[in-house]
């Protein structure tokens, strides 16, 4: 199944594909009433009450006034319906806003401002910097001469770093004006929801150079709801529109969450219904027998000798009506009412207000408060949830000299500032590595200040610290890096990036100093990945000491190193690197091997120490909640070492010998399987000992484990009270939640970033922290709080209260109606 998109051909595709109107609405004005009623009557309780209400209209059998059932029934229906209507109206409203947004689209060769909903497949859409992408586009032109553009995809996959997108090769170098008139055909698959795949072909029609078909990948697309950043303009052909975009296809309305209590009430209702039927049958039959034997003798009742055909039914149906209040119609309304009060109590709680930002806690979902008191597993994000997500460069050790040890802040250490001022070579080298050994993209804002877009917060901290030490990473123009140092501009040509992998635990860049043409390798990485590769004769003892000292303070350490390369050495290596990069089998391993050849004989420059402060009260909160029997899992996209370090410092796991960390790793199925079984074995042995055993798994191993060894992994998950999962993707987080849910555990997911949204929606209870990574998580969550430590109060106070109250209320409701019902039956019997 393919779709053919004819670029700029206004006629052919109009009828074939839908326009770009987005609709999240459930109802229209016309179908609201029937559809809503139909939905409400889908529920067993409502069907039951309707049946009872209808029976009551038959005056022969009704013992009470029909209004006593019709009134509440209509009231309940009206409340539910108006709530639905209000929600749907809000959806309609936000859709309308998105649909009526103005965008630039080419019509008849001229750019026009039209509403987003009028975009059709095949239209060329123009975007400017910071515009939101209105539909799925195939790029055909950007302001960048090399055809690059940057997009932010956080709404799509939760990753906050900028991604590069490139125009297809055929479109390279097409003139700005010609882009309006471009014609061609894109052959692409039917809409699907895979945001990582787009296998399509593009063929341009003459007069453009017709070099057959050009393959397109996801790299050539910009998808709906991304933002164009750092690029002056870009234009693309709409291929999927409206609800058929990748985002639209993957957008499911998350299922309404049901609490354990609701499920219990449903079960109880069923049981009572069965009981009621039994009572009705027994009493009905008894009543009929009595009537036929005894009541005929009671002459004053004057029973007719022959009754109508339904006579046998009358007494059972009367009993049914009498018993109908066994299932309390009021329970739903009263539960909803008190639940919204619980939610209000959470909103009102003055002990859960974040006084720094003035953000109170908020319960978005009012229906599930009592589940807070039933939580068994808490899945927590790390960065921004446990920590403040504010990496700060605190200390450093440059060629044996410690800076920042007295004041606790190296940037205020006059010794260091002086050293920078006099351009002490060691220090300058060190700061240069801080500034450019990274994948940071500097962005000039309108005020002239430079903002850094970094994939990792560490790099961000380092670059910012370097900037404060007057080594400002000012601009990145293709491969030319511009550094301003003490007033002068230094340019470097970026030649290679040896990317970070968790195996190598370091990353390096090869740059060419544009001033003197020297080739330099700059590296930074974990101590065990840098220090052993120092050149012979360098004393690394002070660095080891520094690392130990910093680690004890809970700081994240990185070692910085550098090496000058000879030109031919680089050229030779560069060929090998290119070859390795293009191999198809074992590419990662080959690259690592090639990198290893270059990353040796380092001149170690120093050690940096970065602080990621834990939020206030995190260790205490975790300890209290663990004492309450709640198990914690940490799911983080971060590196293993950092994760473990943070876990240790916030009471997540205990240090040896009290605690034990078990690693699950491996690259292949066999390795993972073996390591899983080993861990499981240890787990089983130690489960009887009072020992804190936790397992650590990384994303790759997790992927394999979830795919092939789900059963074993599930068993492991049940056995272990603590787990750390690092380098996991948003969807893996959701999968883990799903896994625990499938074992019938009540899960709570807490997170702060866009990458936690799926886990939050998946979990029984989602808690969002309105933090620095924006409000996305908080908006998707059932509860939003300002700080992690409020979780304690949320669960132990509000959860407990809500659970107890709901339990009391529902039990009392059933008790009350059963009592009333039996009184009625007894009196009827007499």
Partner 1 sequence: MSSNTPSSSAGGVGSADSSAPRRNSKRPKYSKFTQQELPACKPILTPRWVISAFILVSIVFIPIGVVSLFASQDVVEIIDRYETECVPQDFRNNKVSFIQSDANKTCTRRLTVTKRMKQPIYVYYQLDNFYQNHRRYVKSRSDSQLKDNSSWNDVSSCKPEDDSNGQPIVPCGLIAWSLFNDTYNFSLNNQQLAVNKTEISWKSDRDSKFGNDVFPRNFQNGTLIGGKSLDPTVPLSEQEDLIVWMRTAALPTFRKLYGKIERDLQPNEVIHVTLENNYNTYSFNGKKKLVLSTTSWLGGKNDFLGIAYLTVGGLCFFLALSFTVVYLVKPRRLGDPSYLSWNRNPGGQ
**Residues of the shown chain interacting with partner 1 in the complex, contacts defined by CB under 8 A:** 22, 24, 63, 79-80, 83, 87, 90-91, 94-95, 97-98, 101, 116, 132, 134, 155, 224-225, 227, 247, 250-251, 253-257, 294-295, 297-304, 332, 336, 339-340, 344-345, 347-351, 353, 358-360, 362, 364-367, 757, 761, 775, 779-780, 782, 801, 827-828, 830
Q: How far is the CB of 825 from partner 1 (least distance, A)?
A: 13
Q: How far is the CB of 299 from partner 1 (least distance, A)?
A: 6
Of 711, 717, 729, 715, the C-alpha closest to 633 is 717
**Contact yes or no for 519/508 (Cβ under 8 A):** no
**Contact yes or no for 236/131 (Cβ under 8 A):** no
State the catalytic residue, choosing from 381, 413, 527, 752: 381
Give the residue with the Cβ less far from partner 1, 4 or 345: 345
List of residues 6+ apart from 44 with CB closer than 8 A: 266, 269, 270
Give the residue with the Cβ less far from partner 1, 136 or 496: 136
Provide the CA 173 distance to its chain's centre, in angstroms.
Answer: 38
Give the residue with the Cβ less far from partner 1, 339 or 639: 339
Q: Strand, helix or coil at 342? A: helix
**Contact yes or no for 494/509 (Cβ under 8 A):** yes
Give the residue with the Cβ less far from partner 1, 90 or 211: 90
Of 819, 821, 816, the C-alpha closest to 283 is 821
Give the residue with the Cβ less far from partner 1, 309 or 355: 355
> Looking up tokens 């006034």, which residue turns up?
65
Q: Strand, helix or coil at 413? A: coil
Beta strands across the sheet bearing 783-785: 362-363, 783-785, 765-769, 747-751, 377-380, 631-635, 722-726, 692-698, 659-664
> By 3-state DSSP, what share of the chain in percent is helix, strand and coil, each rounded to 5?
45, 25, 30
Q: How far is the CB of 296 from partner 1 (least distance, A)?
A: 9
First to last CA, the chain: 74
- 290 to each of 491, 533, 769, how far by Cα in Å? 105, 99, 67
Q: How far is the CB of 785 from partner 1 (least distance, A)?
A: 12
Q: How far is the CB of 730 from partner 1 (least distance, A)?
A: 12
- Identify any residues that bridge with 141 across adjacent strands, giving them in sequence order: 235
Give the residue with the Cβ less far from partner 1, 80 or 722: 80
Q: How far is the CB of 255 from partner 1 (least distance, A)?
A: 8
State phi, psi for 675 to the nearest 5 degrees. Answer: -65, -35
Q: How far is the CB of 781 from partner 1 (least distance, A)?
A: 9
Give the residue with the Cβ less far from partner 1, 699 or 730: 730
> Looking up tokens 């990485």, which residue turns up?
525
**Per-residue burial over 656-695, b = 16 or more CB atoms within 10 Å of its CB, e = otherwise:** eeebbbbbbebeeeeebbebbeebbeebeebeeeeebbbb
Q: Is 212 annotated as catalytic?
A: no
Q: How far is the CB of 746 from partner 1 (least distance, A)?
A: 17
Give the residue with the Cβ less far from partner 1, 171 or 327: 327
- Identify any residues that bridge with 725 across adjacent strands, giving them in sequence order: 635, 697
| Rg of the chain on CA atoms, in Å | 34
Tell me the C-alpha distance between 598 and 606, whole Å.
19
* Burial (Cβ within 10 Å: 0-12, 13-18, ≥19) of residue 18: middle
Provide the CA 647 distance to its chain's centre, in angstroms.
Answer: 21
Give the residue with the Cβ less far from partner 1, 148 or 820: 820
Q: How far is the CB of 358 from partner 1 (least distance, A)?
A: 5
Catalytic positions? 381
């Amino acid at each position: 199944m393919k779709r053919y998109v004819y670029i700029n051909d206004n006629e052919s595709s109009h009828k074939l594909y839908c326009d770009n109107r987005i609709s999240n609405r459930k109802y229209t004005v016309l179908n609201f009433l029937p559809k809503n009623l139909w939905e409400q009557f889908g529920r067993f309780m409502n069907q039951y009450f309707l049946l009872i209400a209808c029976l009551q209209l038959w005056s022969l059998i009704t013992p009470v006034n029909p209004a006593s059932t019709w009134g509440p029934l209509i009231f309940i229906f009206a409340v539910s319906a108006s709530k639905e209507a209000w929600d749907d109206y809000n959806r309609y409203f936000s859709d309308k806003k998105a649909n009526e947004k103005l965008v630039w689209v080419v019509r008849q060769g001229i750019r026009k401002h039209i509403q987003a909903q009028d975009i059709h497949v095949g239209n060329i859409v123009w975007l400017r910097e910071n515009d939101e992408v209105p539909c799925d586009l195939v790029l055909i032109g950007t302001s960048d001469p090399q055809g690059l553009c940057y997009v932010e995809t956080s709404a799509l996959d939760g990753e906050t770093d900028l991604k590069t997108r490139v125009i297809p090769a055929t479109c390279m170098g097409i003139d700005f004006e010609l882009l309006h008139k471009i014609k061609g055909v894109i052959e692409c698959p039917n809409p699907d929801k895979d945001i990582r795949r787009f296998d399509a072909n593009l063929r341009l029609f003459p007069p453009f150079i017709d070099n057959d078909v050009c393959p397109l990948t996801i790299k050539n697309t910009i998808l709906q709801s991304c933002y164009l950043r750092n690029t002056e303009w870009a234009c693309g052909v709409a291929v999927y529109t409206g609800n058929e975009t990748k985002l639209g296809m993957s957008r499911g309305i998350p299922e309404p969450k049901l609490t354990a209590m609701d499920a219990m009430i449903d079960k109880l209702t069923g049981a009572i219904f069965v009981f009621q039927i039994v009572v009705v049958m027994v009493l009905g039959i008894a009543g009929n027998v009595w009537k036929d034997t005894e009541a005929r003798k009671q002459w004053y009742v004057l029973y007719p000798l022959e009754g109508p055909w339904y006579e046998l039914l009358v007494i059972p149906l009367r009993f049914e009506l009498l018993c109908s209040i066994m299932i309390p119609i009021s329970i739903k309304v009263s539960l909803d009412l008190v639940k919204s009060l619980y939610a209000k109590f959470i909103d009102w709680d003055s002990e859960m207000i974040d006084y720094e930002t003035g953000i109170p806690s908020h319960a978005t979902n009012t229906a599930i408060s009592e589940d807070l008191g039933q939580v068994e597993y808490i899945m927590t994000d790390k960065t921004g949830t446990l920590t403040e997500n504010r990496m700060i460069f605190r200390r450093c050790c440059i060629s044996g000299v410690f800076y920042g040890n007295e004041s606790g802040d190296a940037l205020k250490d006059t010794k260091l500032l002086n050293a920078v001022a006099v351009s002490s070579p060691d220090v300058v080298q060190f700061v240069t590595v801080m500034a450019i050994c990274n994948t940071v993209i500097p962005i000039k804002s309108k005020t002239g200040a430079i903002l850094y877009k970094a994939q990792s917060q560490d790099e961000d901290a380092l670059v910012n610290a370097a900037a404060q030490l007057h080594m400002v990473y000012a601009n990145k123009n293709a491969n030319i890096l511009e550094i301003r140092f003490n007033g002068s501009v230094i340019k470097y040509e970026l030649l290679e990036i040896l990317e970070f992998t968790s195996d190598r635990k370091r990353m390096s860049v090869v740059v060419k100093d544009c001033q003197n043409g020297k080739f330099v390798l700059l590296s930074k990485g974990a101590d065990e990945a840098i220090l052993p590769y120092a050149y012979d004769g360098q004393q690394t003892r002070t660095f080891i000491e520094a690392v130990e000292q910093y680690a004890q303070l809970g700081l994240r350490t990185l070692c910085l190193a550098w090496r000058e390369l000879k030109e031919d050495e680089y050229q030779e290596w560069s060929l090998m690197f290119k070859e390795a990069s293009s191999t198809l089998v074992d590419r990662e391993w080959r690259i690592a091997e090639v990198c290893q050849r270059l990353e040796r004989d380092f001149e170690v420059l120093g050690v940096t120490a970065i602080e990621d402060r834990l939020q206030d009260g995190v260790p205490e909160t975790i300890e209290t909640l663990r004492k309450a029997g709640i198990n914690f899992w940490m799911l983080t996209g971060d590196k293993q070492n950092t994760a473990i370090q943070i876990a240790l410092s916030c009471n997540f796991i205990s240090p040896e010998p009290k605690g034990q960390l078990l690693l699950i790793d491996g690259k292949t199925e066999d390795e993972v399987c073996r390591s899983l079984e080993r861990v499981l074995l240890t787990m089983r042995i130690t489960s009887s000992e009072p020992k804190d055993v936790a397992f650590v798994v990384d994303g790759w191993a997790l992927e394999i484990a979830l795919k092939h060894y789900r059963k074993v992994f599930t068993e492991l998950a049940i056995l272990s009270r603590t787990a750390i999962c690092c380098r996991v993707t948003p969807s893996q987080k959701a999968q883990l939640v799903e896994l625990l849910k499938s074992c019938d555990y009540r899960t709570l997911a807490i997170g702060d970033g866009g990458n936690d949204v799926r886990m939050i929606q998946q979990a029984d209870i989602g808690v969002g922290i309105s933090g620095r990574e924006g409000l996305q998580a908080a908006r998707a969550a059932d509860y939003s709080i300002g700080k992690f430590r409020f979780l304690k109060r949320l669960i132990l106070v509000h959860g407990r209260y809500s659970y107890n109250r709901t339990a009391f209320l529902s039990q009392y409701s059933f008790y009350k109606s059963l009592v009333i019902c039996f009184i009625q039956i007894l009196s009827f019997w007499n």
